[in-house]
Structure 1
């Protein structure tokens, strides 16, 4: 059996480029050697505490140096990382600890009250991270591990808890092979990451997108990661200018923020590579960003279950606004019949169906949930639950979540399409479109809108304007203004919360 460890993502640049800056966080700067030394020291402390290869260790930390140090420490000891979303309540963290069977929780001081409550409720030992924390004290008294523990390529490396659109979060099990390949294909095939690049790490590292695309891909290429613990658009611009960052990875809400903050920024960074994912990037936002910052945005797509990157606009294929580009190297992304559950029936070019994925990036399954795994993995393909199309040039586009489609009077309405149109209205900064129960039409189209700064909040004006730009079954009959849209841990708009709010 071939051996492989995700820990090599940090161990290799420490061997090849020992003195190069790996990580910047505030005043802290670590070379690859220093960062890997710290992870090996913490890994030795974990081994002393009884962490054995294959044991699951939960990690709860923001985008500070403590996250990568502990992440690679767990991997170096042969453990499996269980990242915990920072927006979860104590009871939700309890679910992650119980469901994953974690033997230990490593927790940043900022998250300690929530972490401690969950740890006590589940009987899991918690260690505090940071300079004055227990793990650092133990690491200081222990001889660092010589190198990382041997793992089989198919052994679990990380278990991501996916919020999903319904029900209880499930643990998606990703192997060392899944995650090493995803970082490698991202760095060298999709995004052309270069050793002298400096990337802003603003995406949460506990989430698959931040972990693979920002952290692992950047270090796979031996480049530098600058962490921003809490995203603030003006601060992000300032930090990118100060550190000479040329790479930005973000979700659409971050791109919206950067465009707005650019107007009052004294200087803008010189960006070369910008990647968007996590949710659909409205074309209007993409155009405004490219105009403001003078650089293309490569929009991509993926899921926790696909390591996460599956598809992205790539320099090799050219880009097309409003699409998610082409599959990653070694990955197939196709469109299958959405109404056939027990097998995967691929559709011809141009037809609308469910996005299905196969390749080195597809997860092993959901931890302890064979039925859910069998539903998701069919005929060697992963069924995404997203609806999309593929055009004659091979560009894929996401139309919507299968579960978010609104059926009004027997006609399908795709919220994404309505949102794209609303985002072109001068008074609209953000829009989320949902279906609400209706006695006559079955469902009615409702738009929840965040107004542009200084704009009038006039629902009737937005409805009238929409009527001129959308088909009769598509335009929103109801427009609600709000100060902010509810966002989940991965920065996706929580439409189920909006549906609950406006149904009530």
Structure 2
């Protein structure tokens, strides 16, 4: 069956009482997950949602996210998932760009979605705990879709311009899930767990879809809190967990009452989203008796391209080797392959590579060349095929595993009447990996209070995108063309009195 929800139907038929989802004391069997998802899909169909229609989902990492996500797939809709911190302007842009016909929002994350729905005259389905759809006939089985049809639309800003919708196909989701099941050696006996956001491609493609494909149980935590995550690992006897570097670091710092004895079942820890320091990997192994394995991927590659797989030597500082079916090449600016060990741009080809950008043929043609995805990330391959990312896409900031694109933040800050020039940069931070910082040249005579500026910015930006560090200068450095030269900004040398 070619549908992202198909595996749930298969496991529900074979092992109906097996645990599919866990959230604290609440356990959902595969039969229950199938039945509630079928009912939700039936409601969407009754509301007029048809194959190919776009449905926007705003929900945290809770079982009800999974129900709404699967229910939309069941009817063949294209699912758009967004951060629960998204503001009304951010949601409105995605709704307009995608042509979404319905908004679905968790009951504690409705304010921004409600505003957009009201302004645009669109229906809003509020999801309460349980997510049981009432008054609609459930769907017997998921719609059988063509493998090259778009299944999800995930918006990402890239390094320039407004956010673009990444089209991931049915094949992208299914093939990536099955490849990960093989690479991670997942079986129905495994107990997967995560505190990652399921609206993000990592949580969605690596945790949710792969876990359901294997028939695992998946323990969900929202919001992430280090002690709660450690307690969940121990309580649910998890065998596999996934997170980003800030999560692993937070767990290490909160682990005084936890040790290897309580984590005997844990065999696999997965990390992505940013580079993980070798010291954290070693400390985690000593504390919990389990190694953290790093991988690499982008939204445009369904989150997974390379991995430090179990069958090979683990190399700290490397993001592993290409997953099955994936090819990695390092190329120079002209597109020619560079010698082994030399740094260049990472190019990918394989089953996870996106279909393209939604209604962006020019951007698609730029980033997809003869089936190859140009990542923009500088990296190098060694003689054994291990990939190391030596930097990241120009200017992008990774704060706590979330991608922050400076231009998007700058465009908002430039709307402030007292800001003349601004450069948004990443500053190293022990907790988040990087913190979002803004260097601002204000209007002569204006006095901008950083705290008030942050409050103002939060009206238009998700909280994690708002600059938490602010410093002021008379003017920003510029090149001959007038372009601001961020590389010449020395954060430590700037006046700290304005932070």
Q: Structure 1 length normalisation: TM-score?
A: 0.79
CA contact (8 A) 2:343 2:379 kept: yes
CA distance in 1, matches of 2:471, 2:219: 38
CA distance in 1, matches of 2:464, 2:340: 30
Q: Structure 1 pair 402/114, CA: closer, same or farther in 2 (3 Å)?
A: closer
Aligned length: 424
CA contact (8 A) 1:109 1:128 kept: yes
CA distance in 2, matches of 1:282, 1:327: 21
- Quote the residue 1:369 is aligned against: 360
Q: 1:384 aligns with which of 375, 378, 387?
A: 375
- 1:155-304 matches, within 5 Å, as 155-188=149-182, 190-265=183-258, 268-270=262-264, 271-304=266-299
- Quote the residue 2:477 is aligned against: none
CA distance in 1, matches of 2:426, 2:358: 37
CA contact (8 A) 1:350 1:392 kept: yes
CA distance in 2, matches of 1:141, 1:451: 47
Gaps of 5+ in 2: 399-403, 407-422, 433-461, 473-490
Q: Structure 1 pair 322/336, CA: closer, same or farther in 2 (3 Å)?
A: same
* TM-fit CA distance, 1:296: 1.4
State which drifts further: 156-165 or 99-108.
156-165
CA contact (8 A) 2:85 2:463 kept: no
* TM-fit CA distance, 1:451: 8.2
> Which string of whole-angstrom CA distances, capped at 9 and with x for unpartnered residues, describes residues 132-175 of structure 1?
8xx74xx3222211111121010110001114333321100000
Q: Does 1:143 align with 2:100?
A: no
Structure 1's consecutive aligned runs of 4 or more residues displaced over 3 angstroms after TM superposition are 264-268, 445-452, 491-504
CA contact (8 A) 2:184 2:309 kept: yes
* TM-fit CA distance, 1:380: 2.0
CA RMSD across the alignment: 2.9
Gaps of 5+ in 1: 406-414, 417-431, 435-442, 453-490
CA contact (8 A) 2:192 2:219 kept: yes
* TM-fit CA distance, 1:194: 2.1
- Quote the residue 2:10 is aligned against: 12
CA contact (8 A) 1:317 1:326 kept: no
What secondary structure, in the 3-state scheme, does the structure 2 residue paired with 1:46 have?
Answer: helix
Q: Structure 1 pair 62/493, CA: closer, same or farther in 2 (3 Å)?
A: closer
What secondary structure, in the 3-state scheme, does the structure 2 residue paired with 1:23 have?
Answer: strand
State which drifts further: 219-228 or 288-297.
288-297
CA contact (8 A) 1:6 1:179 kept: yes
* TM-fit CA distance, 1:373: 0.6
